[in-house]
Chain A
Amino acid sequence: MKFSRLIFANLFRKKARLILTIGSFAIALFLFTFLAVVKGAFSRGTELAGADRLVVINRVGLIQTLPLSYDDKIRAISGVKFVTHNHWFGGVYQDEKNFFPQFAVDIENHRQVMTEFRVPDDQWINFVKDQQGAVAGAGLAKRFGWKIGDRIPLKNALYGTTKTWEFNLDGIYHNDKPGGDESQFWLQWKYFDENVPAAVKSTAGWYVIKLDNPDDAARVGKAIDTLFANSSSETKTETESAFQANFAKQLGNIEFLILTIGSVVFFTLLLVTGNTMAISVRERTAELAVLKAIGFTDRSVLFFVLAESLVIALIGGVLGLGLAILAIPVVGSALNGLLPPLLLSVSVLSLGLGFALLVGAASGLLPGIGAMRLRVVNALRRV
C-alpha cells in the first residue's frame, strides 16, 4: 500500500512513546487473556456438566453428609436411571501445596453415571479388585509423574487421628470432553468406609443421579427434596451445572470480579492510548494541514490517524497474546492445582485481539476526527 510508508514513518516518530504505548497494550492484553482463562477455568465445570445429571447434597451445606440409606430411596423415584455416591477424602500428598481433589467413589455405579471419564477396562477391573486401589486423572498422574503400580501415600487428618493412607495406582482416567477435568484421585468408598470413625461410616458426601430424560430434571429434583423433607438430613437437589456454578460462587463472584478488573484495564488503556494519539496528532497539526493543502482528503487524514492507532493496537495485542501463550502454562503449573486447568483457547485469543483492535480504533477516533475537521487556513496560521 502506497500510504504505508507515511503511516509507519509517523508511527516511529517518537520511539520511546511508541514502545511505551505498545507495552501498555501488551500488558493489558496479557492481563485480559489471563483473566479470561481463569474465568474459563471456573466456569468450565458448568459448561461441561452433564445435562442429564442431578447432584443431591445436604440442605445445610456440602460439608454435611447424607445417610447412605438414601441411595435405594432415590433409585426408586421414577425417571432415575443410575445413582452413585461420593465422599470427600481430603488427604495431603507430600506437601499441603500439592492440592488435588480426592473422592471415595462407589465402584458399582460410578462409571455408569460419570460416563465422560474413561478408564481402560483392565485397569478398572484391577481397581475394583484392589481394596487399596486408586485411579488418577491423566493430568494428575502427569503432574506428579505417577505411573500404574505406584504406591501413593496420602496423609489425612479429617477423620479422627492423623494417619497416612496408602494406595496402589491401578488406573489412569481420561476425560472425553475437551478441557474436561483430569485432576481427580479416586479411592474405593468401601475402603474409605471401613477406615473412618463410626460417625462418618455409612454416609455419602453427595449423590450424583443420572436421569432417563433430562426434561425430568425439575420433577425428579423436587421429588427427592420432598421425599427427605422434615428428616434429620434434608436434601438440596440441583442440576449438575447449577451445582458447579454454586460451588464456584463459594469462592466469591469470580465472574464479576474478572469482568470488573478487565473493564477497568481496558478503560484505562483507552484513556492512555487516546491521550497518546491526541498528543501525537496535536504535534503534527501543521503537517496534517499541509497534507490537506496538497490534496489529501479529510477522510484520508482520518484514515492515517486510525491506521496508526490500529497498528499500535495490533502489535501490542499480538505481543500480549504471545506473552500469554508462553506464560499461562507456566503459571498453571506453578499454581499446583489450586485452580482448575488453565486452558487458552483460540476463541479467547481472538476475543483479546478483537478487544485490542476495538480499543485501538476507539482511541484513534477522536483525535482522527479532530484532524479530519482541521481547517487548513487556521492550522497554517498557527505555524
Chain B
Amino acid sequence: MIRVDGRSDSASLIKVRGLNKTYSRGGEQIQVLQGLNLDVDKGDFVAFMGPSGSGKTTLLNLLGGLDVPSAGSITVDGDEITHMSASKLTHWRARHVGFIFQMYNLIPVLTAFQNVELPLLLTKLSKSERRKHVETALGVVGLTDRMNHYPRQLSGGQEQRVTIARAIVSDPTFLLCDEPTGDLDRKSADEIMALIDELVGKYNKTILMVTHDSLVAARAHMTLHLDKGVLVEGGKSPQQVLAGGAA
C-alpha cells in the first residue's frame, strides 16, 4: 500500500518521514523537498511525476542512498539509511538497490554479459554461479542471444534491457528507475514498460520510477506528483491517466 500522509503504522518496505533536502546555490538556500512522507510496500510500483526541478530525481537519489537528506529519515526493510556512513551506504546500495538510468550508462568496453555481471563482482559468488545468475537475468529481459554483444551493437531498447538485467541480477530489495523510457521511441518504450510490468507482476519486484511520460506513469500502481517539494497523490488508475486525467 502506497501512502504519502506519514500515518501508516504498518511495517512498510520503504518508509520516508519528514524528508527535507536543501541546496545552497550562490549563497541562496533552495529547498527541494519539504517534509516529505512516503510508505511503499513490497511489490508496489510507484511513479513520480512533476515539472523539471520539482525534486523527482533528488528524491530518487535520496531513496537510493546516492545523496543524503538535510532532515528526515528513510528506512528500507528496517534499516535507516540516513545516518549511514558513505562507505556503509555503498555496501547497502550494492545489496538493496537496482538502478535503471535514462541513458542506460552501460560500460561500452564490456559485453552485455560483462555489464550485467558487474554487481556480482562485489559478491562472493564463484565464476560459475555468477554466470548462472547473469544468464538468468538476461533470460528475464529476453537477451540471452545477445549476451556477447557490446552496447554499440545493441539498439536503445536492447541497451535498456541490459541495464534492467544489471539492476535485477543481484536480486535487490527495490529498483529505482530514472526516466527509463526517456530516450526511447514509443515502441521500445512500450516493450521496456511491459518488462517492468512483468518484474512487478511476475517477480513481485518493488519499483519506484521517475517519468515525464503520463502513459508510462499510468502503468504504475500509483502516480505521485511532486509539486514545490511536496508529494501529492495523483491519478490512481491507468484508465484515468490514459483519458488525460492525470492530476
Interface residues of A (CB under 8 A from B): 2-3, 5-6, 9-10, 12-13, 286-287, 289-298, 376-377, 380-381, 383
Contacts and interface: CB of A to CB of B under 8 A. Distances in A.
A13 B109 contact: yes
B145 to A, nearest CB: 21
Give the size category of B's interface with A: 20 to 34
B109 A377 contact: no
Majority-rule SS of B interface residues: helix
A383 B121 contact: no
Interface in B39-80: 57, 61, 64, 66-67
Contacts of B119: 294-295
In the A-B complex, the 9 residue pairs with the closest CB atoms: A295-B94, A9-B109, A290-B105, A376-B66, A377-B67, A295-B122, A294-B119, A297-B90, A295-B93
B74 to A, nearest CB: 15
Contact of B105 (A6, A286, A377, A381): A286
A291 B118 contact: yes
B109 A293 contact: no
B122 A296 contact: yes
Given A2-B121, A377-B66, A290 B101 contact: yes
B29 interface: no
Given A380-B101, A383-B103, A293 B93 contact: yes
Contacts of A10: 109
B95 A295 contact: yes
25 contacts: A6-B110, A9-B107, A9-B109, A9-B114, A10-B109, A12-B109, A13-B108, A287-B108, A289-B105, A290-B105, A293-B66, A293-B99, A294-B122, A295-B91, A295-B93, A295-B95, A297-B91, A298-B86, A298-B90, A376-B66, A380-B66, A380-B101, A380-B105, A383-B103, A383-B105
Majority-rule SS of A interface residues: helix
Contacts of A287: 105, 107-108
A12 B108 CA distance: 12
Contacts of B109: 9-10, 12-13
Given A297-B91, A380-B101, 5 more contacts: A6-B114, A9-B107, A290-B101, A293-B93, A380-B66
B61 A377 contact: yes
A279 B146 CA distance: 31
B110 A9 contact: yes
